[in-house]
Amino acid sequence: MSSFENLRIVDNFYQTSAFFPMPTVLISTLTEEGMTTCGPYSLVQPYYVASKDYYAMLLNCRNSSNTAQDLLRSGKCAINFIPDKRKYFKEAVRMSWPGDTPQEKMKDCLFTLEDGLRAAEDPNNLYPKVIAEAYQVFECT
């Protein structure tokens, strides 16, 4: 008899049935109106790490999500790595419901949004704000 337990696989199997560590990040993007909105993800990993003229990250998300649509339109995002604190994870879960508008998600957002370094380097363009509480942020184009 096996010492392992059979777990029921559900839609988000990697969140409910996987036991390998994946960072929880909030991806901040720009809406069509230029508002910063955030969506939680855990399927983020390095893609190009050497022998290229640039670095790249891989984000796995639904192509119909607000995050994907914002990325396709603007080509900009910030990957905000949030601290391992219960209140931050509860907020990430609250922000995760598909179908909520960016305005609904961001209305009572617990996180502090501020301009990132890209906004200071390139003031003639609009960039998604970053999360002040994050311990690391990758600003991406």
pLDDT tens digits in sequence order for the chain, 141 residues long: 778 777 777 766 665 666 556 678 999 999 999 999 999 988 777 777 777 788 888 888 888 889 999 999 999 999 999 998 999 999 998 898 777 889 998 999 999 999 999 999 999 999 999 999 999 999 999
Q: What pTM was estimated for this model as a whole?
A: 0.83
**Residue 78: strand, helix, or coil:** strand
Residue type for 129, please? K
A 10 A CB-CB count for 125 gives: 11
> What was the pLDDT predicted at 17?
62
Domains and CATH numbers, the chain: 22-140 (2.30.110.10)
DSSP 117: H
Which residues, at least 6 apart from 79, have a Cβ–Cβ distance to it below 8 Å?
Answer: 25, 27, 44, 57, 59, 137, 138, 140
Please state, in angstroms and rounded to a whole number, the distance separating the CA atoms of residues 20 and 14: 9
Distance between start and end Cα atoms, the chain: 51
Query: In what helix (H) or strand (E) does residue 86 lie, and over which residues does it extend?
Result: helix 86-94
pLDDT in tens, 33-53: 999 999 998 877 777 777 778
> What was the pLDDT predicted at 12?
63
Please state, in angstroms and rounded to a whole number, the distance separating the CA atoms of residues 39 and 45: 16
In sequence order, the β-bridge partners of residue 78 are 28, 139
> Which structure tokens are listed for 118?
């890209």
**Residue 103: strand, helix, or coil:** helix
